[in-house]
Amino acid sequence: MRKWHIRKLTKKGKILFISLIIIILIIIVSVNSCDKKEKIQEENDNIINTSEIDTDVINTIFADGMGTEDYKNILNYTPAKLISGVNYNKINYDFENTLHYYEIEELIKEMNKSDIVNVYIIGESHDNRNIYDVEIGKGNKILMLDANMHAAESANAPILTKFLIDILNDYENNDKEVVDLLNKVKIVAIPCINPDGYEIYNFGIDYLNNKDLWIYQNKDNVFFNHFKYNANGVDLNRNFPTQNAGLYYNEYELISSVSLSKTTQRHTYFGGSTLGSEPEVRAVMYQILSHYEDTYAYINIHSQGRVIYSGKPNLSDEYNDLTIELCNRMSKFNKYKVHKLEREEIGEGNDGTASDFMAELVNGFIFSSKTGRLSSSSYKNNNATLKYHAPAIVLETMNDNYKDPNKHKDEYYNHGLKEMFYDLVRYVNERE
Ligand SMILES: [Zn+2]
């Protein structure tokens, strides 16, 4: 067989041959960089296309996963910034009255007059009330706080608002420690996640504007003194697209407080038939997704009996140790009981909380477009490593639901909440 060699080609042939090689090289390089571009794009979107391997542990999936486009819309959301006022004046609020939500909004607008405050509208409730992100401070390390996800736990919107006002007044008064802290730490807070529920619980169903909403349509059967859900009848704190949300495992029974459809039955709650379906949940998801990498403590504030919940059974020991440590530190101020891992469960239909969502992101979970949930390598995986910094803690204030602002005031001053909040800012500042 004759050996082929480039020297045997004519000049024209040589040029054609070399051109062909160059074209092939260009194609290879551009295909590669396209792949790379797509991969980077996906990583930027925090979305992967894998599902967990051992789905055989799951008995029933009772809520659909969130759609990938819906998740991307949250990642790409641009909140409206509230225009700042000028000339901050000391805010004098001290639990004098039960505040309407519009009065909380007025306090937020007053806070926004300070140079170190930025306020964003991060969503709108079913009944078209704005949901606010109040950011106070100049630092890079974030303390994230949010309150009043559950309607009747309405002590916490005024309590959190009061803390934000207090620390801001201190800053504006040139309190040396607070000025120093807020130069290094930024507080990122949602004073009220469920404004419709807050308003209805405190002032009655007639304060709902849209009478077509589920809660108005079912008003004769709802136990308003204890109701948790939003105006659409959904328990927001089961509607987050976390790894185990809306499903339960083979060896478990569905937990008794979970309902698989909307219900007015007392102490039984429905988390939505599709994860991430509720606008209030999307607002919190936006808040968490925009800040989790720089957050050093996340406190999701409820009021079911003066306890602090720490730890997640599906997450790493390193994460759980960090969480328990902060819970013990918080408890020193308010003497609330700390519940550790033994009081937490997964796979009983009770997952999908805001703190689950934050905790899983902190442990490096990524949204899976196959499951419509955050995902690690497998269900029940507690080998995931701690990737970011924030313990995600559920703080339960108060010994019952009260509308009386004097009870809220008592909890804030006499049950260590005020000091605990200030210490959380110190904690974030101390973290490496
Ligand atoms: Zn709650």
Distance (Å) from CA 268 to ligand 1 centroid = 13
Task: Please check whether residue 412 lies inside any domain of the structure.
Answer: yes
Distance (Å) from CA 400 to ligand 1 centroid = 11
Vertex 393 angle, CA 392 and 399, to 5° = 165
**Domain encompassing residue 36:** 6-42
Q: How far apart are CA 159 and CA 313, in angstroms?
A: 30
**Beta strands 366-368 and 373-375, pairing class:** antiparallel
Q: Which helix (H) or strand (E) holds 180?
A: helix 176-184
Mean pLDDT, the chain, as a whole number?
Answer: 89
Task: Please check whether residue 47 lies inside any domain of the structure.
Answer: no
> Which tokens belong to 103?
């009065």
Cβ–Cβ under 8 Å, residues 191 and 148: yes
Task: Please check whether residue 337 lies inside any domain of the structure.
Answer: yes
Distance (Å) from CA 340 to ligand 1 centroid = 18
Residues 65 and 22 in one domain: no
Task: Please check whether residue 320 lies inside any domain of the structure.
Answer: yes
Task: Please check whether residue 1 lies inside any domain of the structure.
Answer: no
Distance (Å) from CA 179 to ligand 1 centroid = 33
Would the pLDDT of 90 be above 90? yes
Cβ–Cβ under 8 Å, residues 132 and 190: yes
Residues contacting residue 81 through CB under 8 Å, at least 6 positions apart: 118, 119, 120
Residues 157 and 218 in one domain: yes
Cβ-count burial of 323 within 10 angstroms (0-12 exposed, 13-18 middle, 19+ buried)? buried
Distance (Å) from CA 368 to ligand 1 centroid = 27
Distance (Å) from CA 141 to ligand 1 centroid = 27
Q: How far apart are CA 379 and CA 314, in angstroms?
A: 8
Residues 110 and 31 in one domain: no
Residues 270 and 374 in one domain: yes
Q: How far apart are CA 200 and CA 204, in angstroms?
A: 4
Residues 63 and 17 in one domain: no
Could you write out the DSSP letters of every residue in 254-283? PPTTEESS---STT-EE--SBTT-SHHHHH
Residue 343 or residue 181, greater confidence? 181
Distance (Å) from CA 202 to ligand 1 centroid = 16
Distance (Å) from CA 212 to ligand 1 centroid = 25
Into how many domains does the chain fold? 2
Residues 30 and 174 in one domain: no
Distance (Å) from CA 351 to ligand 1 centroid = 13
Distance (Å) from CA 227 to ligand 1 centroid = 10
Distance (Å) from CA 428 to ligand 1 centroid = 24
Residues 138 and 197 in one domain: yes
Task: Please check whether residue 235 lies inside any domain of the structure.
Answer: yes
The CATH code of the domain that includes 368 is: 3.40.630.10
Distance (Å) from CA 401 to ligand 1 centroid = 10
**Amino acid 278: pLDDT:** 98
Distance (Å) from CA 126 to ligand 1 centroid = 19
Residues 18 and 69 in one domain: no
Would the pLDDT of 57 be above 90? no
Q: What is the largest CA-CA distance in the chain?
A: 101
Would the pLDDT of 103 be above 90? yes
Task: Please check whether residue 384 lies inside any domain of the structure.
Answer: yes
Residues 38 and 57 in one domain: no
Residues 10 and 83 in one domain: no
> Which tokens belong to 59?
């008995």
Mean pLDDT of 227-241: 97
Residues 356 and 405 in one domain: yes
Task: Please check whether residue 112 lies inside any domain of the structure.
Answer: yes
Mean pLDDT of 270-278: 97
Distance (Å) from CA 3 to ligand 1 centroid = 81
Residues 114 and 36 in one domain: no
Residues contacting residue 329 through CB under 8 Å, at least 6 positions apart: 423, 427
**Amino acid 378: pLDDT:** 61
* Ramachandran region, residue 46 (left: φ > 0; alpha: ψ -120 to 50; beta: rest): left
Would the pLDDT of 44 be above 80? no
Distance (Å) from CA 293 to ligand 1 centroid = 25
Residues contacting residue 350 through CB under 8 Å, at least 6 positions apart: 238, 255, 257, 258
Distance (Å) from CA 333 to ligand 1 centroid = 21
**CA-CA distances (angstroms) from residue 192 to 102, 241, 332?**
11, 21, 26
β-pair partners for 303: none
Q: Which helix (H) or strand (E) holds 343?
A: none
